[in-house]
Each structure stands twice: as structure tokens, then as C-alpha cells.
Structure 1
Amino acid sequence: MTPNGTPAPPPLYHLQAELENAFDEIVARIEALIEIYRREGGAAWALEEATPDADWLRRILLDFWYEEGQDGRVTRSYIGLVAASQALLDEVGRVNRAKAQFSGVLERIRQEDATLIPGLKALLPARHPALNAQLRDQGLARLHLKQCWRALPTADAPLSRVRMAWYASGRSIKKLSVREAERKLMAFDTEAPHIRIQLRHLAGIPDGEPLAQVQKQAPLMRANVFFAEPLADGRSRRAMNVALPLFIPSPDGRLPDYNRPPPFPQPERTRAKRSDERLEDEPFLPSIRVYRYR
């Protein structure tokens, strides 16, 4: 107990063991899902795979790795559709619960001691010889934690059709004050010449000037799904982002009508910018992607 009477947090080694168990459960549940799909063999379609089968599904669902040079904020997408029996959907639910458990424990470790995270990225795959061999043989860098815990998308009910399209929002823009930008720069090595230059630039503008922090966003595949029958709440359709195969309830093992989007997003059309997005062409503080408004 803590001095104020609340339960003390578990020791870090307990959290590490809990994370290891959660990772093991993700792998076990995915393997169980694959066995059900291998046995039942419902229809499937994939954007970049001519003949999606159980081996394809296993490969993409167990893709937990950074590739060399991969941006840590970016995850790989595997666009597809899978006709799912109730048994398969039940297992998808178990996979997603295991992923949620893993994510929750990981967040607790981050709050207690984030310095443990890099070591865990090497430790976790070593518990599974086949996964560790893949990591070694393919020259993959390390475990990508978000690719471990991102959920498998599922449709709420049987569908009549699916319409997919790339959605490129381009970038997100967050307003920052001068003081907020300064705090972000101060988190870097303030003795580094490029940081000192940016701090001087920041000191030369009015304290009240609004700034904009820009984050480029990777294109997303957006699926508009149309339910065969309206849901209990009256909805007949739903839009959802799908970075992994969409599992669709299908008692007969067939897919609904669907389109085949291009493998890559089309070049973005030029659109008029809102007044609050009119930023200078070059970043004012490159290290934190901050721009001045024109």
C-alpha cells in the first residue's frame, strides 16, 4: 500500500512478465484463428495478393516487425476482405482482446519506466523460435509494438456490399504557442548547434504569435460497408479505416459485392486551403515540424 492507502503499483518485473504473457497470448490466438480459417476456408480477397489463403493470413497477422529505415510512427497496411464464420469471428474477438491487454500493460510500463521498452522489443520475439528466426533471417530490425496491438477490423453484421477508396488527408495541423514550441525544443540537446539556432529564431518573434505543428499523415484505406439488413439502431452503413483485412460475418462463406481499389492512392488533387492552413513553405523550426502562418 502507498502512504495514502491506495494499492501500490506492481513491481516492474511483474509488469514485464505480464507483457510477455500478453504477447504470448496474441501469438497463440492468431495461430488458433489461422487454424480455423485453414479448416473452413472462407472466401478472401487481398489488394496485393493474387491468391489469399491461410498462409497469407498468417504471414500478415504475425507481421510485427520494423523494416530497416521504417518510420516508427508508420505501420504497414494489408488491405483485404475475409468471409468469416461465427467460429472465426469468435476467435477474432479473442485476438483483439489479447491485443487490448497487451496495449494496456505496455502503457503501464511506459508510465513506470519507458527506458525498458527498447529491451522488450528484442526480448519478446525471442520467446517464439519461429518468429525469432524470421526476425534474424529476413534482417528485420525489431518488434514494432503498434503492429502488435492494432486491432483486426470486423463488420458488425453481414454486408450487402463494400466500397473501398484511398483517403489522403495529407497532414494534420496543431496550433502551438511560442512557449509550447520552446518547451518542445528544450527537450532536445540544447547544446546542439541546430537546436540553438532554432531557439534563437523562436526568441526573435512575438510571444503571442500562433505557430503550427504539422504532421504528415500516411494515406488510409477507407471502407464504406453496407449492411444486408439495418442494424438495431437503424444504421444501414458504416465507414471505417481498414489497415488489416476486414472480417465480414458470412454464414455461407462468400464475400459481399466489393470494388477493387487501385494498389496505391492517386495523386492528391489540389484543393483550396482554408485560411488557418496557409503556412509558410519552409518550416520555421524543422526539428519539431513547426511552421509560421503567412
Structure 2
Amino acid sequence: MNNNSSASDLIESLEQLQTRLNGFAAQLASNQLPFWLPGLKPANLSSAAALYSDIWYRDGRDGRTTISHHGLIGADAALIKQALLVNQAKCEFQRHATQYRLSKDLPLQQQLHLRSEKLATLLHFQGASRLHLKQCYRHIPVLETAPVKIGFSWYTSGRSIKKLTPQQALDRLMKMDTSQTHIQRQIEAVGRLRPGDLLAQIQTLAPVIRANMLWKEQDQLIRKAKNISLPILVALNPANPVLPEYNEPPLSPPDTRSRLERNDLKIDPDLFLPSLRAHRYLG
């Protein structure tokens, strides 16, 4: 596949995503079923539609963060279908964007903006400079059968832990400014490690809302949990449109971690290589 066809496929998949988002937003605006949208201002379906449709970076906003709101929106079959079509388009766009490395190919982004008048107009009026890939990729959460209960809670203990060998750590340090004293000290520290030693590169994840869902089917209780960054669409019976039972968590996460640290933690809490956020494993 040549570069021109790659760009064309990518642009087409993004335009398809935008078209389906527009269709979903229009369908959502006509929705007559109950909803709960805490913290969204104004707390109406137009605001929710804008939240689902936001796939662009905003000026002055930290590009590493995503706009997140939890909530529940009752949905009929037509709205559920539109949401699933959006999610399908998101998968297709992510496939192309990953294949063509859109996040690192600025000329291709510029070509995308120039080739599509519709998208260029959208960029102008929304004050957006480039795509927010995480918000492009994240799916609209859809429950095609309504649970009896949904419990929302803040999850503040999330961490990403990646293992590094001494050689991998050394390779990364050598790519930094080795004239700096603190880098030289870390290189020396790596040199004192044994070949079989491992390091833990730790990143604390941002707090997220987790939805704990409960279904009752015959004599069985079925539980599922999922992190939520967008309001959940819940399929409701139009003849009896009642949202599942739910709680109302605080709008902002607690200041402290929600779980105690394990007593058998095997990672040294003190940083061993600060420039890599790397810790030693305790023997």
C-alpha cells in the first residue's frame, strides 16, 4: 500500500467516525428516556452529546489528560445501534491510525486537515489544533441489557509497572545527557547491578471511576466491573423506562489512596533511578 492510499484510507476512516458521531449526537438529542449526568454542566443530553463527540485537543489543555464524566443514559434500540456503529468506526480509525503512526506523523496530520474541508471547518470553530487520539479511540460504554444495580466508586490505586533489565535501563540512560552529574551517578548505580537483577518502572495512574455492575439472571448473580470515562448507555424497556439502582460518588477523587499498601510489597519504595522512575525489587 503506497503512502497516498494510506493517507486516503486514514482520512476516510476519520470522516466516517465524524459522520457516525454526528448521527449518534442527533439520535441522542431526541432521546426521551431518563438519564443521570452528575457534574456535567449543563446536565442535559446536548452536553452529553458534545462530550461523546469531542475528539480534538483544546488550546491550553494538558494533552496527556482526557475529559471524563460518568453517568447513566437510558437508551432505546435505535440509540444503542448508533452507539455500536460509532464504536465500530472507532476501531476502524484506530486500526488505520496505529498502522500509519498518525501520532508521530505531523505531515500526515497536516495533509488530513488540508484534504477535508469539513474537518478543517470543525477545527476552526472548535479551536482545536490536532486529534486527541485517546478520545478518538475510547468507546461509548454500552449495556445492551440493563443491570439491576450499578455501584460507582473512585479507583485511586492504579499503577503501571514495567520490568526493566539493567541493560535496558543503561540503554535509556545513555540516550540522556550523560554530561549531567545525576545521569552519571545513575549509570554508575546500574553498573553495580547483577545481570539477573530486575528494576520496576512505576507510573501512578490517574484516578478513575469504576462501575461495578450486577445482573440477576434466574438464580444467578452476574457481576462485572469496568473503568468509566463516559456516561454509560443502558438499554431500557420504553414501556417501563427505569434506570438501574445506582449510587452517587463524590465528583472528585479522595485525596488519599483507597487501598492500603500490601505488607508483602516486593518493590523498594525509594527511587533507584529517578530519571527512569525505576525502583529495585527487594530480595
- What TM-score do the two structures reach when normalised by structure 2? 0.84
Residue 87 of structure 2 is aligned to residue 88 of structure 1:
no
Cα offsets for 1:235-287 (capped at 9, x unmatched)? 63321111111110012244222111101122225624343444243x22223
Q: Quote how far apart the aligned CAs of 1:18 are.
A: 1.1
Q: 1:214 maps to what in 2?
A: 202
Q: How does 1:1-294 map to 2 (within 5 A)?
A: 10-49=1-40, 51-67=42-58, 68=60, 70=62, 72=64, 74-110=65-101, 115-116=104-105, 118-121=106-109, 124=112, 127=116, 128-136=119-127, 140=128, 142-186=130-174, 188-189=175-176, 191=178, 193=180, 195-227=183-215, 229-230=216-217, 236-252=222-238, 253-266=241-254, 267-269=256-258, 271-281=260-270, 283-293=271-281
Q: 1:3 maps to what in 2?
A: none
CA contact (8 A) 2:31 2:75 kept: no
Query: Helix, strand or coil: the match of 2:148?
Result: strand
| Paired residue type of 2:139 | A
Query: Helix, strand or coil: the match of 2:272?
Result: coil
Q: List alignment gaps of at least 5 residues for structure 2.
A: none
Distance 1:71 1:286 in 2: 23
CA contact (8 A) 2:97 2:103 kept: no
Query: Helix, strand or coil: the match of 1:36?
Result: helix
Q: Quote how far apart the aligned CAs of 1:95 are.
A: 0.1
Cα offsets for 1:56-98 (capped at 9, x unmatched)? 12211122233536253x4231212110100000001100000
Query: Helix, strand or coil: the match of 1:213?
Result: strand
Distance 1:70 1:181 in 2: 28
How many residues are paired up? 274
- What TM-score do the two structures reach when normalised by structure 1? 0.82
CA RMSD of aligned residues (A): 2.7
Distance 2:97 2:242 in 1: 37
Q: 1:5 maps to what in 2?
A: none
Distance 1:183 1:156 in 2: 48
Q: Quote how far apart the aligned CAs of 1:189 are.
A: 3.9
Query: Helix, strand or coil: the match of 1:40?
Result: coil
CA contact (8 A) 2:162 2:202 kept: yes
Cα offsets for 1:110-130 (capped at 9, x unmatched)? 3xx8742x3445554663245
Bigger proportion of residues as strand? 2
Distance 1:55 1:130 in 2: 21
Q: List alignment gaps of at least 5 residues for structure 1.
A: 1-9
Q: Quote how far apart the aligned CAs of 1:176 are.
A: 2.2
Cα offsets for 1:148-179 (capped at 9, x unmatched)? 11111111412222111111224232332212
Q: Percent identity at matched positions?
A: 28
- Shift in CA distance, 35/12, structure 1 to aligned 2, threshold 3 Å: same
CA contact (8 A) 1:96 1:151 kept: yes
- Shift in CA distance, 195/49, structure 1 to aligned 2, threshold 3 Å: same
CA contact (8 A) 1:178 1:202 kept: yes
